[in-house]
Copies of this chain bind each other. A is one copy, B any other.
Amino acid sequence: MRILYHLPLSPYARKVRLVLAEKRLPFELRLEKTWERRPEYLALNPAGTVPTLTEENGLVIPHSNTICEYLDEAYPDISLVGRTLGERVEIRAVTAWFDERFAAEVSRNLLYEKTMKPVAKRGAPDAARLREGYAALRLHMNYIGHLAETRKYLAGANLSLADFAAAAHLSALDFIGDVDWAAAPAAKEWYARIKSRPSFRALLADRVSGFNPPPHYADLDF
């Protein structure tokens, strides 16, 4: 069986779950408490981060982008990385924007401080980081709204990996109640479309002990 090692609130693992579900590839989810640094897991992924995917044939695939590129090459029927060279550039660039900039400026400051730090027993959330994270989130929501107003999907006319990368980060923040949807109507309209896809259902059913998502989290009509 295909196995995905994950943490429920990891945006990178969520992105891969969405891609697997869009491609209708069955898989088993396995919780990996990365802070325990299990030697068996480090042997699969020396960075010790989630996600890692293992295939039935023994192939071990660490790192979310490596996994997404692999899945698009191994199961090309439903492609999420684009067809033309230009489309592929835009999709990869927007995906990297979310996985690097949004991650460093927003997810690192809010999600990590509020969820990973307490769980991994690394101290209390840092107030300055939270402030920085909220300020950056407002700018990023405007940018998402701007993209959503000028194109049908975040990287162009077609649904792509870039939408799932962005939605993965936002869904984890939405789980902890940090997204002010009322202030970002264009971003909300785009997110509502992604969130109502069948591939999103499993994410909306996630429960994490110690956290209660706000009522709108799993509501498709939020």
Question: Residues of A at under 8 Å CB distance from B?
Answer: 46-47, 59-63, 65-66, 69-70, 73-74, 85-86, 88-89, 92-93, 96-97, 100-101, 143
Contact = CB atoms under 8 A, between A and B. Distances in A.
Contact of A97 (B47, B88, B101): B47
A73 B88 contact: yes
A74 B65 contact: no
A88 to B, nearest CB: 7
A69 B86 CA distance: 12
A165 to B, nearest CB: 13
B96 A66 contact: yes
A101 B47 contact: yes
B74 A59 contact: no
A162 to B, nearest CB: 11
A65 B66 contact: no
Nearest to A46: B97
Complex copy number for this chain: 2
Contacts of A86: 59
5 contacts: A46-B97, A59-B89, A60-B89, A63-B92, A70-B88
Nearest to A69: B92
Given A97-B47, A101-B47, A74 B63 contact: no
Contact of A85 (B46, B74, B92): B74
Contacts of A73: 85, 88
Contact of A89 (B70, B93, B143): B70
Contacts of A96: 63, 65-66
